[in-house]
Structure 1
Amino acid sequence: MKFAKSRYLAGAALGACFFSTAAFAQDAQTSADSGTDLNEIVVTAERRPENQQDVPVSVAVISGQNARDFTASGDDTLLALSGKVPSFYAETTTGRIFPRFYIRGLGNIDFYLGASQPVSIIQDDVVLEHVVLKSNPVYDLDHVEVLRGPQGSLFGRNTTAGIVKFDTVRPSQELSGQAQLSYGSYNSINLDAGIGGPLSDNVAVRISGLFQHRDDYVDNRFAGPNSDGTKGGKNVMGGFDERDVRFQVLATPTADWSVLGSFHVRNYNGTSTLFLRNALVKGSNDVSNVSRTSVNYDEAANNPQDYNTYGGSLNSTWDFGGVTLTSVTAYETSNGYSRGDTDGGVSQLGYVPTLAACRDCGESMGRLRDLDQWTQELRLASDTAGPFKWQLGGMYFDQRDITEFYQRAWFLSPGVVGRNPNNWVRLHDVNTSWAFFGQASYQVLPKLTLTAGARITQDTKTTDLLKTADTAAGAVTYTGRHHVRLSDTKPSWDVSALYEVSPDVSVYARVAKGFRGPTVQGRSAVFNSDFTTANSETILSWEAGFKSTIGRTLRFNASAFTYTVDDIQLNGNDADGNGVLFNADKAKAYGAEAELDWHPVRNLAISLGASYLHTEIQDKRVYAQVCTLNGVVVCTVKDPVIQRTVFGAPAYFAQIDGNPLPNAPKYNLNLAARYDIPVFEKGKIFISTDWNVQGYTNYVLYKTDEFYSDGNIEGGLKIGYSGNDGAYELAVFARNITNEKNLKGVIENYMAAVINDPRIIGVSLTGRIK
C-alpha cells in the first residue's frame, strides 16, 4: 500500500513538475488582469460566439481556473459546481458515477441507470445522454456555461430545465499549457493538466489529463459473521482513483476547412455513496453528530464502484463564404458496476443476517454491461455581420445498452438462508431520436433584435427484458411485460426580444416550449414487478431580464421567470421501496436570479449570485409511498396519509399536491472574492474565498420533519503567491473549511442520511505556459 501511494504521488508530482518547469521558463508577457476593468465574456449559448451581454438567454459562466480551484481537494468535477451559480444544483446518492442535475428546480431524483434527466450535459459539442456518460469528468477546462430554462430549439429534447455546457481548451498554433497539482488531507491528490501547440503550419495537437486519488478513510466496524463474504476493517472505503486522458488534433487542410479530432479514456474505481442508517432521528433533520469516518456495513463488500469509458468525436467545419457548415460525429462507450449496502448496515440493529432470513437487509448492484452512443449533427449557419443571422440543422441520436440489476439474494454465500443465484435481471434498452431545427434573428431596429427558433423531434425508447428474476429452483414467477416501446414526436420552440436601452444596458424577454421524452423504468422487474413508464412531459417557460455593465468595473445581470410543466415525470417508491415512474398533472414555478461581478478597487474582484425559487406540484390524485419499514411509518409525515394493502402488507401513501419539487432549493446565495497584493514587479500574494448558502430543500416528494435541509453552508479558502505574471502559483487551500456536516440525501425507510465530504486542507502548485 505504501509503495502504491508513493507511485501515485511520484507520478502526479512528475507531471506537475514538467508543466511547471516549462511555465517557469516561459517569460509571460501579460499577467492576469489585476486592475479594475472587467473582461468580456464570450459564450456559445446560441451555437455561435457572442458577448454574454448580447444573448437573450439567462446564462452563467464559470472559468476553467475557478472550476479547478473548486476541485483542488479531489472533488468530483461536476458535483463541485453545485451552488456556484444561481439556480443550479447537483447531488448524488449513487456515488461519483451518477450525478443528478437541477436547474430552476427541475431535475430527476431517480437512481435508475436508464433514467432520463431534464438537464442536458454537453461536452465539446457532444451531448451526453446516459446518466453514466453525464458523469464524465471535465478537465483542462476553458469555461462552463449554465443555460437556464428550456433550450429545445438548438439543443433538443430533455433540456426542459436547461443545459450545462463544458468547453475544454482546444489545440492552437500557439504553445500553451497549464497544470495544477494539489495534495491534501486523506492523501488526496488532484492533477489537472494540459499542453499543446503546433506540429506544423496546419496541424496542432493537445494532450490533457486528470488524475485524482484519495485514500480509503472510512472504517467498517462490522466484525461478522457475514452473509456474503463482506469483511470489515480500518480504512476500507471512501477513497477513489480517477484516471482520464484526452488527445486532440486540429488540422486545417485549407484556409476554409478545419477538422478537430478528439479521443478520450476514463478509468474510475472508488466507493459508491455511503448511506448512514439511523443517522436521522424521528422528528429531526440534524446530522451534526453523525460520523463521516465510521460505518457498520455487514454486506456489499464495502460498496465498490468501477467504470471505464471511451469516446471520440470528429468536428469538421467548412467556410463557404458567408455560410458555414459544421458536422459533429461522436461515439461513446462505457461499462462498469456500482454495488452498495442500501440499508446502511442492518447489523447496527443488533443482529446479523447469517442466523436467519434477514428482515431488514438490503444490498443491490447495477451493472452496465455495455453502452454505445452514436450522435451525428449537421449545422448550416450564416457567417456575416449583417442584421440577419440564421442557422439550420439536423440531429440523429442512437443509444443502446445492456443493463443488469442484482438484489441481495444473489450475493449470499452458500448455506445462507435465502440464497438465490437467479435474483437478477438483464435488460436491453434502445433509444433513438432524430430532429430538424432552425433559428433566425433579425435586427428590426437599431436597438431591437428579435430571435425565433423551432425544432421537431421524434424520440423512441424500447426496453426488452432478456432475463427474469426467477426462484432459486429456476421457476419463472414474473408476470409483467417483457417488451415496452414508447415513441413520441414533439415540437419545441422559443421566441425572444433583446432591446438595447443604452450601450451598457439591455433588456430581454423570452418564451420557450420544450419537452422531455417518454421514459421506461425496467429495474422493477428484479422485484417481479411490471415495468413502469412515463409519458412525455412538456414545459412552457416565460422569462424577462436585463443585462448591464456599469462603467468598466461592474457587471450586473438579473432575470425573473415562471414556468408550467404538464405531465411532469416524477419518481417515487413502491411497496418494496423500489423507484417507480409516474406522471403528475403539472408543476408550476416562479423565481428570480441575479449575478454581479464587481471590481471596486484595483486588485479586488467580487462576484455575487442569488436565486429565489417557488415550485409546486399540482395534482390532487397523486400519492407517494412514505417512509415505511415492516408496516410502520418511521418518519414524521406532514401531508395527508392514506393506507392501502400492497402485496398483502400495509403501505402508506402521502398526498403530494401543493408540495415543492424535490431537490429544488428555495434560495441559493454564492459569493467569491479575490484580493491581490503586489510584492514584486511580476509577483503578488493573493487570498481568495468562495461560499455557498442553500435554502430550504426537500429531498422527497412528501413533507416531513426529517428529509429536508435549510441553511446548508460551505466555504473554501485559498492563500498563495503568484509569480512571473501568473506563470506559476503556490498556495495553501481548504475546501469545506468549517467542516460543515450537511444533509444531501436520504434513504427514507431506513432513516439513512447522505452527507457532504469532510474538510480537506492542502497545498497546490500551478504552472502555466502562455
Structure 2
Amino acid sequence: MIKLSKMHKRLLALSALMPIGTALAQSTEPQLETVTVTAQRRAENIKDVPVSVTLLKDEKLDVLLSGGQDIRFLAGKVPSLNVESSNGRTFPRFYIRGYGNTDFSTFASQPVSLIYDDVVQENGILKGYPVFDVAGVEVLRGPQGTLFGRNTPAGVVKFESAKPNLDKIEGYYSASIATHNTAALEAAANIPLSSEWAMRVSTLRQHRDNFVDNTFTKQNDALEGYNEHAERVQFLYKPSTTFNALFNVHSRTTDGSARLFRANLIKKGTNDFADGYDFTKINTNGQNFQNLSTNGANARLTWDLGAVKLFSITGYEAVDNYYSRGDIDGGTPTGPGFIPFQVQTGGGLTGLKQYSQEFRVESKNAGPLNWQTGVYYFKESGDGFSDNFDSNTQVQTSHLASHQNNTAYAAFGSVTYDVSSDFTVRGGLRYTHDQKDFRTVESWNVTQIGPKSVEESKNKANWDLSGTYKINKDVSTYARVATGFRAPSIAAASASVPITVADAETITSYEAGIKADLFNRRARASLSVFDYEVKNQQLTVVGGNSNVTKLINAAKTVGRGLEGEIEGFVTPDFKVSLSGSYNFTKIEDPNLYVAKCAQCTITDPIGANGLVSINGNPLPQAAKVIVNATARYNWPLADGNLFVLTDWSYRSKINFFLYESKEFTGKSMVEGGLRVGYNWAGGKYEVAGFARNITNTERIIGGIDFNNLTGFVNEPRQFGVQFRGGF
C-alpha cells in the first residue's frame, strides 16, 4: 500500500508536468503569433477580416527604418503599395493598387487616406509625420469609405502608436550611425503615475550630413542633408474598467535639403542616366532648402456601458510653417545640357488647422447580430502660396497666395451577422457631405484668368457588403463589394491657367480572397483578387511646355490584379516570407488629351492640336509587379542569439506622367537590405550592423517635364551599426 501510494503520487506529479513538457516539445516547432488588426474598427483576427490587409510591426518595422528613412520606406515593401514625393522628406503621395494622385499643389487630396492614432491626416504635409514607437502599421487595400474618415476610395494606411499602460515602468532606446553621418536616436518610456494615470513619452532624432557637391558654386558637401525631430506625449486615465481616456500631444520639426532636381539627367531617347552622371555632384544655381513645423493633439475616450461601447475621438492637427524651395530646371545657363530658361520655385503653407470629431457606438452582443454606428465631422482651414524666382539673379518674379476652407460631415453604420458558426455577412453604409471654399487672397505679377474664388460641395452615399466563410478552423474565404468616394478638388491658378476644379470621383470594387494558417500555424498565407472601376477619376496635369498644374477628370479608369503573402518557419531557427502583387491599370477616355513634355520622346498618339492622347495608358506611379522576400536565421548561443536577416524588394517599371514617353519611364528596381546582429538577456539588448540598398541600385524615380529632361533619384546605399536596449 505504501509503494502504491508513492507511485500514485509520482503519476500525479507527472500528469501535472505534462503541459509543461508538451510546451517544451512544441517550442522546437514554433508557431506564428495570432495577428490582430482593426481594419473593421474592431480588434479581430486578420484571418476573419474580409479585406486585403497587411500588418507591419516589431522587427520588420525596425529593420526597414534602421537607416533613418522617412515614411517613404513603405514604398514597395507590401503588396500593391507605392509611396513617392517630389518634395523629399515632406509631402508624401500614396498609391494602392496603382490608384493615387501625383498632385503636389498645396491643397492636393489623395484617394489613399492616412490615419494616425484614429485621426485622419488630410493635407499632404501632415501625411509625412515620422514613424517611431508604433504598435503597428496596417495597410488596408480597396475602398474603406464606410468606416473611416474621408477620401478613402483606394485604401487606408493606418498607424497606431504604442500606448501607455498602468503596469510598470518600461521602455526602450535605440541609437544608430551610418553612411554620410546618418544618425538616428529613438526612445520611449512608459511611466505609471498612479493607480489611474500613466504616461508614455516618445522621441525621435534624425540627422544626415550634406554629401552632394554643387559644382556651380564650388561648394563641397552642400546638399542632401537633413535634421528631423519629433515628439509624442500620451496620458492614459483609467479610473475603472468601464471608462478610459487616452490623450496625445505631438509635434514635428524638420529642415534640410528639398528634393534635388538634376537637369538633363536622362539620356535623350532612353530612360538611362545621361553620360557623366554622378550621384554625389550637381550643377545648380538655384537655392535649395525646406523647413517644416507641425503639431497636434487628440483625445480618445471609451465608455463601456454593458450592452454597448461608446467612443469619442477628437483630433487637432496644425501646420505652423512649411516652405520648400528648389531649382526645378535643375541646372545653370551653361547646363548640363540644353536648358531653355531659368526658373526656381518656392511654395508652402503659412498655416493650416484641422479639427475632427467622431462619436461611435459599438454593440457587444453575444448573439449573431452586432453593429456599430456613428457621426463624423471634419473642418480644415489653410493658407498656402507659391513663388517663382529668376535663378540667375535670385530675384522673386511672382507670388500667389490662396486660402481654402473644407468642411465635411458624415453619418455611418455597419452590421455584422453570423448566419452560422462558419458564415458571416457584413454590410455598411455612409452618407457624406463635403464642401470646399477656395479663393485667391494675394497675387503679385500674376495675371489671374477667370474667377478668384470657387465653391464646391457634394453629397454622396457609399456602401459595402461582404461575406466570410470558414472552410475549417484554419482556412477562411471572403468576398467583398465596396464603393468609395473622393470629394471635388481645387487647384490654385497660375499665370496661364485659371483655378481648376476636378469633380468628385467614385469607385466600385470587387474583391475575393482566401486566408489560411498552415502546418499547425507554423506558416500563414493569403491570396486576394480584385477588379475595380473608377468613374470621373481626378488626374493632375503637370508641366508640359510650361510650369503649370491643373486638374482634369478621366471618364473612367479600370484596374485589376492580385495580392499574395506567405510567411512561416522552415525550421525553428529559420523564418522566411514572400509577398507580391500584380496591378493592371488603364485610363479609358478617348477624348482626353494633355500637353506633352518639352524635349522627351512621346510614344502616345499626338493630335492635330499638338496634345497627347492618354487613352489606354496606365496610371502614373502604378507598378504592375511588386515582390518582397525576407529570410531570418537564428543561432541560439549560451547567453543570447546571433542572427542574420535579409530583405529584398522588386518593383517593375513605372510611368512618371499621364502620357508615355521613352525618357519619363522609370526602370524596374531591386533593393536589398542585410542585418547581422546579436541579442541577449532575453532580447532586452541588441547590437547589429546593417546595410540598406546593399547593391547600390541607382534609379531615376521621378521627373519634371516642362523645360528639359530633369529627374531625381532614389536614396543611396548605407552601411551602419545600431544598438537597442530595453528596460
* TM-score computed with the length of structure 2 as normaliser: 0.93
Matched, 1:61 2:55: yes
Q: Which residue of 2 aligns with 1:636?
A: 601
Cα 1:313/1:619, change in 2 over 3 Å: same
1:336 to 322, 328, 343: 322
Deviations 1:233-291 (A, max 9, x none): 11111000001110000001232111101101111001111111111011111238632
Q: Which residue of 2 aligns with 1:555?
A: 524
1:699 to 644, 656, 660: 656
Q: Which residue of 1 aligns with 2:349?
A: 368
Deviations 1:468-493 (A, max 9, x none): 2327xxxxx33321110110001111
Query: 1:350 Cα deviation (Å)?
Result: 7.1
Letter in 1 for 2:282: V
Q: Which residue of 2 aligns with 1:17?
A: none
**Equivalent residues of 1:36, 1:600 under 8 A apart:** no
Report SS of the residue matched to 2:607: strand
Worse overlay, 135-144 or 282-291: 282-291
1:429 to 399, 404, 422: 404
**Equivalent residues of 2:120, 2:149 under 8 A apart:** no
**Equivalent residues of 1:64, 1:144 under 8 A apart:** no
Q: Which residue of 2 aligns with 1:595?
A: 565
Q: Which residue of 2 aligns with 1:403?
A: 384
**Equivalent residues of 2:255, 2:289 under 8 A apart:** yes
Query: 1:193 Cα deviation (Å)?
Result: 1.7
Report SS of the residue matched to 2:643: strand
Q: Which residue of 1 aligns with 2:19?
A: none
Query: 1:386 Cα deviation (Å)?
Result: 3.0
Alignment of 1:478-557 (within 5 A): 478-522=448-492, 524-525=493-494, 527-550=495-518, 551-557=520-526
Letter in 1 for 2:523: L
Q: Which residue of 2 aligns with 1:304?
A: 289
Report the Cα distance in structure 2 between the residues aligned to 1:288 and 1:142, rounded to whole angstroms.
44
Q: Which residue of 2 aligns with 1:219?
A: 213
Report the Cα distance in structure 2 between the residues aligned to 1:34 and 1:689, rounded to whole angstroms.
23
**Equivalent residues of 2:375, 2:412 under 8 A apart:** yes
Cα 1:420/1:760, change in 2 over 3 Å: closer
Deviations 1:268-321 (A, max 9, x none): 00111111111101111123863221111112x2x1000000100011111101
Matched, 1:572 2:541: yes
Q: Which residue of 1 aligns with 2:12?
A: none
Matched, 1:268 2:254: yes
**Equivalent residues of 1:35, 1:603 under 8 A apart:** no
Report SS of the residue matched to 2:419: strand
Query: 1:388 Cα deviation (Å)?
Result: 1.6
**Equivalent residues of 2:267, 2:274 under 8 A apart:** no
Deviations 1:74-103 (A, max 9, x none): 111x10011111001111111111111000
Report the Cα distance in structure 1 between the residues aligned to 2:138 and 2:54, rounded to whole angstroms.
6
Report SS of the residue matched to 2:290: strand
Query: 1:564 Cα deviation (Å)?
Result: 0.1
Q: Which residue of 2 aligns with 1:253?
A: 239
Q: Which residue of 2 aligns with 1:120?
A: 113
Matched, 1:466 2:431: no
Cα 1:339/1:34, change in 2 over 3 Å: farther
Report the Cα distance in structure 2 between the residues aligned to 1:622 and 1:539, rounded to whole angstroms.
19
Q: Which residue of 2 aligns with 1:743?
A: 700
Cα 1:288/1:65, change in 2 over 3 Å: farther
Identical-residue share of aligned pairs (%): 39
Report the Cα distance in structure 2 between the residues aligned to 1:241 and 1:316, rounded to whole angstroms.
35
Report the Cα distance in structure 2 between the residues aligned to 1:288 and 1:693, rounded to whole angstroms.
24
Report the Cα distance in structure 2 between the residues aligned to 1:92 and 1:276, rounded to whole angstroms.
15
Report SS of the residue matched to 2:570: coil
Report the Cα distance in structure 2 between the residues aligned to 1:346 and 1:654, rounded to whole angstroms.
29
Query: 1:412 Cα deviation (Å)?
Result: 7.0
Report the Cα distance in structure 1 between the residues aligned to 2:330 and 2:666, rounded to whole angstroms.
20
1:676 to 627, 630, 634: 634
Query: 1:619 Cα deviation (Å)?
Result: 0.2
Cα 1:330/1:34, change in 2 over 3 Å: farther
Report SS of the residue matched to 2:410: strand
Letter in 2 for 1:84: K
Report SS of the residue matched to 1:337: strand
* TM-score computed with the length of structure 1 as normaliser: 0.88
Report the Cα distance in structure 2 between the residues aligned to 1:684 and 1:35, rounded to whole angstroms.
17
Q: Which residue of 2 aligns with 1:233?
A: 219
Structure 1: gaps (5+ residues): 1-29, 224-231, 353-357, 472-476, 629-633, 645-651
Report the Cα distance in structure 1 between the residues aligned to 2:290 and 2:29, rounded to whole angstroms.
47
Q: How many residues align?
A: 696
Report the Cα distance in structure 2 between the residues aligned to 1:158 and 1:64, rounded to whole angstroms.
29
Q: Which residue of 2 aligns with 1:146?
A: 139
Deviations 1:506-539 (A, max 9, x none): 11000000111100001x33x2531111000000
Matched, 1:169 2:138: no
Q: Which residue of 2 aligns with 1:659?
A: 617
1:442 to 400, 403, 417: 417
**Equivalent residues of 1:272, 1:305 under 8 A apart:** yes
**Equivalent residues of 2:264, 2:336 under 8 A apart:** no
Query: 1:660 Cα deviation (Å)?
Result: 0.4
Report the Cα distance in structure 1 between the residues aligned to 2:412 and 2:28, rounded to whole angstroms.
43
**Equivalent residues of 2:285, 2:392 under 8 A apart:** no
RMSD over aligned Cα atoms: 1.8
Report the Cα distance in structure 1 between the residues aligned to 2:503 and 2:558, rounded to whole angstroms.
18
Matched, 1:194 2:188: yes
Deviations 1:370-398 (A, max 9, x none): 00000001100012443221100111000
**Equivalent residues of 1:297, 1:347 under 8 A apart:** no
**Equivalent residues of 2:417, 2:425 under 8 A apart:** yes
Cα 1:350/1:716, change in 2 over 3 Å: closer
Worse overlay, 319-328 or 635-644: 635-644
Q: Which residue of 2 aligns with 1:279?
A: 265
Q: Which residue of 1 aligns with 2:647?
A: 690
Report SS of the residue matched to 2:591: coil
**Equivalent residues of 2:228, 2:255 under 8 A apart:** yes
Letter in 2 for 1:138: V
Q: Which residue of 1 aligns with 2:676?
A: 719
Alignment of 1:446-457 (within 5 A): 446-457=421-432
Query: 1:351 Cα deviation (Å)?
Result: 10
Report SS of the residue matched to 2:193: strand
**Equivalent residues of 2:545, 2:596 under 8 A apart:** no
Report the Cα distance in structure 2 between the residues aligned to 1:143 and 1:213, rounded to whole angstroms.
24
**Equivalent residues of 2:667, 2:700 under 8 A apart:** no
Q: Which residue of 1 aligns with 2:202?
A: 208
2:87 to 89, 94, 101: 94
**Equivalent residues of 1:67, 1:81 under 8 A apart:** no
Cα 1:643/1:578, change in 2 over 3 Å: farther
Matched, 1:313 2:298: yes
Query: 1:64 Cα deviation (Å)?
Result: 3.6
Q: Which residue of 1 aligns with 2:42?
A: 48
Cα 1:603/1:293, change in 2 over 3 Å: same
**Equivalent residues of 2:200, 2:233 under 8 A apart:** yes
Query: 1:67 Cα deviation (Å)?
Result: 1.5
**Equivalent residues of 2:534, 2:557 under 8 A apart:** yes
Q: Which residue of 2 aligns with 1:355?
A: none
Query: 1:768 Cα deviation (Å)?
Result: 2.1
